[in-house]
Structure 1
């Protein structure tokens, strides 16, 4: 069974909804959890229809922020056990053989309230003793290597998170893809990257689903690139009216950097995405495979006379002649003399 777990950071933007639709088409999940929806019930109903899911459960946003939503298809049985502003706890296939538990979790944003998140995890741990999967945005790293640049995180805060995971019997499933799930960038060029989202599971859950893989889909780069392009268009108009071009050059540099990151992200994604329970031919996979084939293709080569060869038989002939010459002995006569000099 395929699941999507994503901190979408707002569904009011049509671009975010379209990105979600594209992701669902590629992954074909039966279950999907979204954090920070920033959406009301009407908007979530619209999203459910767009992604063609059958059922939903949601936790109301607070003012314009927060909000959790769980969507699923009729192909699985989902029973909601408990929920709060920070979690939705459900049992999957409760009346069927091998039920398991899924908790979609969203950690407290404020550091001084982070202990409330850990207390909630411990409380949930004591409730139901069946195979347990827990995932999403814990808003905390477990070690310094999960953070790039910026101040070091206090070791006691990371230790508290690790101890909570240990008490709950959780093991980190790791991930495939981009190493960070959250980023922030400043105008002075400084960037901060962290891995705040993860998937953890109990030993019993891992024994029941030993072939499970977790992949990081990091979409904020696309959003940032879109915003930067809009900002660039605005500053281009200002410069045409006689404004200073310093900021324009800085934005162009940021866009080039984001485009490089986006290219790396899609390259990683195209090589690591997989579909369980049978492959599906999609426009995305076909496009990426075509691009990779084109990149690996040799369209021309120069021969020993420095002539450019583009025909398939000519290219093959150049390779054949090169390797024949490379591996054909020249029958040297001075081999005994050379060998006698070796001690």
Structure 2
């Protein structure tokens, strides 16, 4: 079980995000913690969560207060870093029955023009991996019109390419519980937008190993 949190800013110890994350971590046992858009250096994050048991970690520093990824995991979680870049981190997991599988923690490019290249880089890795895999994270991409609520009726940029990428790689969506929308632009009136940007999907082989898996969306 893991906790994924889109921080949208974690650049000081007084951030209100930190006690919220700590409260969730105290309520259940989590194997790993994945933070997205930390907007700070990894050296600032590790001390915040090391005392909670996440003694192994890897991160990508933010660039001028933009982006930033960090993942921490426990000794007993039997995870090993395999690959990392600015948009995703891949861990090899040994879980249950000694089975090996990959956990891909993703952060899609915010800029539409760069999104396809991130997906293609991930797809190249799919062709080489020799174990089932699960992908979880913020893709910065809406799949369908029902996953967006706004006053605009424009077609969703990037949706067709994203869905073709899923079909081409035979990815299976993991069912979720909780609110549909995982992001809001926090604007007022007609300018307010809600979207489902966070999602999870697995290879067919992974889903056959863990068919009862589910994702829980917490309120925005």
Which whole-Å CA distance do the structure 2 matches of 1:109 and 1:68 have between them? 14
Contact 2:142 2:156 in 1 (8 A): no
Matches of 2:186 and 2:55 in 1, distance apart? Answer: 38
Aligned pairs for 1:247-266 within 5 A: none
- Residue 168 of structure 2 is matched in structure 1 by 167
Change (3 A) 1:155 1:65: closer
Q: Answer with 188-197 or 172-181: which moved more.
A: 188-197
Contact (CA 8 Å) 2:149, 2:194: kept in 1 or not? yes
List aligned pairs for 1:274-289, cutoff 5 A: none
- Corresponding residue of 2:111: 110
Residue 22 of structure 2 is matched in structure 1 by: 21
Structure with the larger RCO, 1 or 2 (CA within 8 Å, 6+ apart): 2
Contact 1:55 1:73 in 2 (8 A): yes
Displacement after TM superposition at 1:42 (Å):
2.9
Q: Give the conservation status (yes or no) of the 8 Å contact 2:41–2:60.
A: no
- Where does residue 32 of structure 2 map in the other structure? 31
Q: Is the 8 A contact 2:87 2:107 kept in 1?
A: yes
Query: Greater helix percent: which structure?
Result: 1
Per-residue displacement from partner, 1:167-194 (whole Å, max 9, x unpaired)? 2221111210011000013244642100
Change in 2 beyond 3 A, CA 1:178/1:137: same
Map of 1:157 onto structure 2: 158
Mark the runs of 5 or more structure 2 residues left unpaired by the alignment: none
Query: 1:67-115 CA distances to partner (integer Å, 9 max, x unpaired)?
Result: 1111111112212111111010111129x82100011111111112221
Map 1:114-125; keep pairs closer than 5 Å: 114-125=115-126
2:148 and 2:188 mapped to 1: Cα distance?
20
How far apart, CA to CA, are the structure 2 residues paired with 1:189 and 1:158? 23
Cα distance between partner residues in 2 of 1:156 and 1:191: 18
TM-score (norm 1): 0.60
Residues matched between the structures, number: 217
| CA shift for structure 1 position 34 | 1.1
Distance 1:206 1:116, change over 3 A: same
> Is this contact kept in 1: 2:150–2:190, CA < 8 A?
no
Asked which structure has the greater CA Rg, the reply is 1
Does residue 1:11 correspond to 2:37, yes or no? no
What's the counterpart of residue 147 of structure 1? 148
Query: Given the superposition, is the C-alpha separation of residues 152 and 118 from structure 1 closer, same or farther in structure 2, using an over 3 Å criterion?
Result: farther
Question: 1:4-56 deviations in whole A, cap 9, x for unaligned?
Answer: 12212122243101111011112320112111111213321222235332211
- Counterpart CA distance in 1 for 2:167 and 2:63 is 31
- Report if the CA contact (8 A) 1:122-1:167 is conserved: no
Q: Tell me: CA distance 1:188–1:176, structure 2 relative to 1, closer, same or farther (3 Å).
A: closer
Answer whether contact 1:174 1:198 (CA < 8 A) is retained: no
CA RMSD of aligned residues (A): 1.9
CA distance in 2, matches of 1:194, 1:160: 18
Task: Go from structure 1 to structure 2 and tell me whether the alpha carbon gap of 1:159 and 1:97 turns closer, same or farther (over 3 Å shift).
Answer: same
**CA distance in 2 between partners of 1:165 and 1:156 (Å):** 16
Q: Is the Cα contact below 8 Å between 1:90 and 1:101 reproduced in 2?
A: yes
More strand by share: 2
Change (3 A) 1:153 1:117: farther
